[in-house]
Chains A and B, each alone.
Chain A
Amino acid sequence: DVKVTQSSRYLVKRTGEKVFLECVQDMDHENMFWYRQDPGLGLRLIYFSYDVKMKEKGDIPEGYSVSREKKERFSLILESASTNQTSMYLCASSLWPHRGVGEETQYFGPGTRLLVL
């Protein structure tokens, strides 16, 4: 089974702090994603990566950056946390689709609920 883990389930930070959220997958997936989930808005894509050291902006990248130094690990960085970044953050991974139909399914981690005070 695919396993996607996130470093923390709950996190409380102060405004202005630098925050690191880590995600690790164990299935050799090329693609990794960071979403934030807010009530009534569903999930919105922050950043994604399709290879080591490669990254692409999603729909709401402002205030965030990412790092992918190893294939299995994708980090989300809040350079200076703000209260409007209080949210649930979900990481996901998937295979590059050329390997076959059906393998493009994204697998999600348990999420990190971040509270910025």
Chain B
Amino acid sequence: AQTVTQSQPEMSVQEAETVTLSCTYDTSESDYYLFWYKQPPSRQMILVIRQEAYKQQNATENRFSVNFQKAAKSFSLKISDSQLGDAAMYFCAYRSAGGAQKLVFGQGTRLTINP
């Protein structure tokens, strides 16, 4: 079974600075997807960024980028120019490319932005 581990329960960063959230996963599969989801205090979970395992290029979405290291099974999220609105719980998630469509989530990292 696949597992996802987020080893940082809490992180904080000064506004406008850069922060990196860590995620590692364990799988024997070669084809899969990885996601970062954000859950603001209002509780609506939204997708931040996704990465296909077959793509070597790291995904980017504006201020959000990932460092995908397939051999190391590592998938970290970098947030540049942090803003107050980035404060949230961040979840890393894994999904197999075939078969069941379920997501396997990490434990989450609570990110605080200091003004």
Contact = CB atoms under 8 A, between A and B. Distances in A.
Given A90-B45, A102-B50, A108-B46, A41 B102 contact: no
B9 A111 contact: no
A110 B44 contact: yes
Given A101-B52, A111-B43, A106 B9 contact: no
Nearest to B110: A39
Interface of B: 4, 6, 9, 33, 35, 37, 42-47, 50, 52, 91, 93, 95, 100-108
A115 interface: no
B102 A88 contact: no
Contacts of B9: 40
Given A41-B107, A94-B101, A105-B47, 18 more contacts: A33-B103, A42-B105, A42-B106, A42-B108, A43-B93, A43-B103, A45-B103, A48-B100, A58-B102, A90-B45, A96-B101, A97-B101, A105-B50, A107-B47, A108-B45, A108-B46, A109-B44, A111-B44
A22 interface: no
Interface residues of A, number: 29
A44 interface: yes
Nearest to A94: B101
A9 to B, nearest CB: 8
Contacts, number: 59
Contacts of A102: 50
A58 B103 CA distance: 10
Tell me which of B43, B46, B47, B50 has the highest count of chain A C-beta atoms within 10 A of its own C-beta: B43
A48 B103 CA distance: 11
A56 interface: yes
23 contacts: A40-B9, A42-B6, A42-B106, A42-B107, A43-B91, A43-B105, A45-B102, A45-B104, A50-B101, A56-B100, A96-B101, A97-B101, A102-B50, A105-B47, A106-B47, A106-B101, A106-B103, A107-B47, A108-B37, A108-B46, A109-B44, A110-B42, A110-B44
A48 B6 CA distance: 24
Given A48-B101, A94-B101, A42 B91 contact: yes
